[in-house]
Structures are given as C-alpha cells and as structure tokens.
C-alpha cells in the first residue's frame, strides 16, 4: 500500500514538473469603449511571476521572451515577482535571479516595456529590482502613468500587499476621455478602483491560477487573493467599462510543479467597440 502511495506521488510530481515547463499562449481580444479607431488592433504582450532564483530555469525565461517577440507586440506589460523571495528575504535573491533581467532585455516592442513590482520583489530588495529593470530600458510605473498616443495611457501601481498601491495617484490628472490600461501585480487593486471610469483594462498576475489545481473539482487549495479571483484567469468583466486580465505567469512558487495549471503569457489585442 505504501509503495503504491509513493508511486502515485512520484507520478503526480513528475507530471507537475513537466507541466510547469509547458508554456501556453493565451490570445485574447479585449473590446474597449472609447478606444480610438487608430488603436484598434493594438497588441500587448503580458508576462508575470518569473520567480527567478528559485526553481525557474534560465532557459524557460529566455523561451518565454522568444515567444513574446514572435508575436510582435506593440508594447509589453511585465507584472511583477521578477525574483523569488519565498526562501529568504534578502537582496542576495535579486543577484541570484539576475538572469531574468538578462533575458527580459531581449524583449522588443515599439511602444515600450512597462513594469510594476510584486510582493516577492519587495520581500527581496525592491530598490535593486527597480534599478535592474531601469538599466535594461523598462519603464517602472510606481503609482504613475505614461501617456502614449491617440488617447491611450499606461498606468501602474506598486504592490497591493507591500506597496502600497495608489491607483488614483497613478491616474493623476488624466482626462475622462483617456483610455487607461492599469498594471497591477495583484488583481485586488480593483477594490480600490470602485467605479473609476478611466481605467478600461487592469492587467495582473500574482495568483498563478492556483498553480496546483485538484483534478475533477478544478480548484486550488489556496490562492493569495480575494475570493473573486481564486482560480480565475484570463479576461474577467469588472464593470460596464472595465475588464481585468489575469495571467498564470511564467514561473512557480514554493514547489517546482504545476498541476492542471500550465504557465502562460498573454497576447491581448485591443478592439474598438
């Protein structure tokens, strides 16, 4: 009986490890009210939760960069947890996971690379993570925004747990006619947004989609967010005017496995309503 149990655990663990390295591409059209006709079809690459320095292989991150570049996005959103802070809250973890920044330097997008930090980045050394991102040309959006073109802006907030996240500060004096894409590591930032109409799309990671989902019931034992987002990934309606997109991320946390929940990157295409 014990040997059967051990064999079952080994099989599940092996399957979970293989699944953790099978990157999926989630392609999604996002209809936005008020979007300029000139921006119809704009493509966004979405990447998150690399957790470099723990279990994630350097090759896996390089492969994810190649996949995104192949899709030829107009801009790329990087949604935090670049390095892993689960096994020691130290700046040494940033150095150990520095290969993530080497890989992300290879991303190409004409409108730019934009990032926010996650809780693990704070648990290690947020200052070093910001510095490493800036060095490779990534714009870090700590409660601020960048106006792009034709009434589109990209805003970002610091981590919901560790920041704090201040979305109203990030939006600043943007007019009500602006279509804002908000980057937030944690989807719970929607709690702070309320009925804010300028934000048309929130992009988040953090949940890993549960990472380990129990077959048949398709649920994860624990997901670090409010009940609304537990086990939910992809495009989620928030209000008449706003969507949230949640990616399962590239890496893993705590265990080097994923079960019924493969890693992914998002390729979003904005569509005018």
Residue 219: φ, ψ to 5°: -130, 150
Q: How many structural domains compose the chain?
A: 1
What's the confidence (pLDDT) of residue 28? Answer: 98
Give tens-digit pLDDT for 152-190.
999 999 999 999 999 999 999 999 999 999 999 999 999
CATH number at residue 155: 3.60.21.10
CB 35 within 8 Å of CB 270: yes
Cα–Cα distance, 39 to 37 (Å, whole number): 5
Mean pLDDT for the chain? 89
CB 50 within 8 A of CB 93: no
* HSE-up (13 A, CA, CB side) for residue 8: 5
Please list, in sequence order, all residues whose beta carbon lies within 8 angstroms of the beta carbon of residue 252, skipping any fewer than 6 positions away: 20, 51, 54, 55, 56, 208, 211, 258, 263
Task: For 198-216, give one letter per residue: b (16+ CB within 10 A) or e.
Answer: bbbbbbbbbbbbbbbbeee
Model pLDDT, residue 197: 94
| Gap between the Cα atoms of 262 and 113, Å rounded | 24
3-state SS string for 21-85: CCCEEEEEEEEECCCCHHHCCCEEEEECCCCECCCECHHHHHHHHHHHHHCCCCEEEECCCCECC
Confidence check: pLDDT of 110 > 80? yes
Per-residue model confidence (pLDDT) at position 238: 95
- Residue 23's domain comprises 2-272
Q: Which residues contact 1 (CB under 8 A, 6 or more apart)?
A: none
Q: Given pLDDT bands bounded at 50, 70 and 90, which one contains residue 14?
A: very low
Under the banding of pLDDT at 50, 70 and 90, the label for residue 266 is very high
Q: What is the pLDDT of residue 179?
A: 96
pLDDT tens by residue, 209-262:
866 776 765 666 566 778 788 778 899 999 999 999 999 999 998 788 888 789
The answer to whether 248 and 213 have CB atoms below 8 angstroms apart is no
Q: Confidence band (pLDDT; 50, 70, 90) for 88?
A: low
Give the whole-angstrom CA distance, residue 68 versus residue 109.
10
pLDDT above 60: residue 89: yes
Distance CA 166, CA 168 (A): 6
What mean pLDDT comes out for the span 87-114?
Answer: 93
In this predicted structure, what is the pLDDT of residue 126?
96
pLDDT tens track for 27-63: 999 999 899 999 999 999 999 999 999 889 999 999 9
Q: How many Cα atoms occupy the beta-carbon half-sphere of 20 within 13 Å?
A: 25
Residue with tokens 């209000």: 239
pTM for the model stands at 0.90
């Amino acid at each position: 009986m014990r040997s059967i149990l051990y064999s079952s655990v080994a099989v599940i663990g092996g399957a979970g490890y293989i699944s953790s390295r099978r990157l999926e591409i989630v392609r999604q059209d996002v209809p936005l009210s008020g979007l300029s006709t000139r921006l119809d079809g704009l493509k966004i690459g979405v990447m998150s939760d690399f957790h470099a320095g723990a279990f994630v292989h350097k090759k896996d991150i390089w492969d994810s960069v190649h996949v995104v570049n192949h899709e030829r996005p107009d801009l790329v959103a990087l949604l935090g947890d670049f390095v892993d802070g689960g096994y020691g809250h130290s700046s040494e973890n940033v150095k150990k996971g520095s290969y993530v920044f080497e890989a992300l330097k290879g991303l190409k997008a004409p409108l730019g690379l934009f990032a926010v930090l996650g809780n693990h980045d704070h648990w290690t050394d947020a200052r070093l993570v910001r510095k490493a991102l800036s060095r490779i040309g990534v714009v870090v959006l700590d409660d601020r925004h960048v106006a792009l073109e034709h009434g589109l802006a990209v805003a970002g907030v610091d981590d919901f747990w560790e920041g704090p996240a201040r979305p109203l500060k990030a939006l600043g004096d943007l007019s009500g006619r602006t279509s804002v894409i908000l980057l937030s590591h944690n989807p719970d930032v929607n709690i702070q947004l309320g009925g804010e109409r300028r934000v048309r799309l929130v992009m988040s990671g953090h949940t890993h989609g549960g990472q380990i989902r129990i077959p048949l019931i398709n649920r994860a034992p624990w997901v670090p967010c409010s009940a609304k987002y537990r086990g939910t990934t992809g495009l989620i309606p928030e209000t008449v005017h706003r969507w949230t997109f949640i990616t399962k991320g590239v890496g893993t946390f705590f265990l080097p496995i994923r079960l019924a929940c493969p890693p992914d990157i998002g390729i979003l295409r904005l569509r005018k309503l």
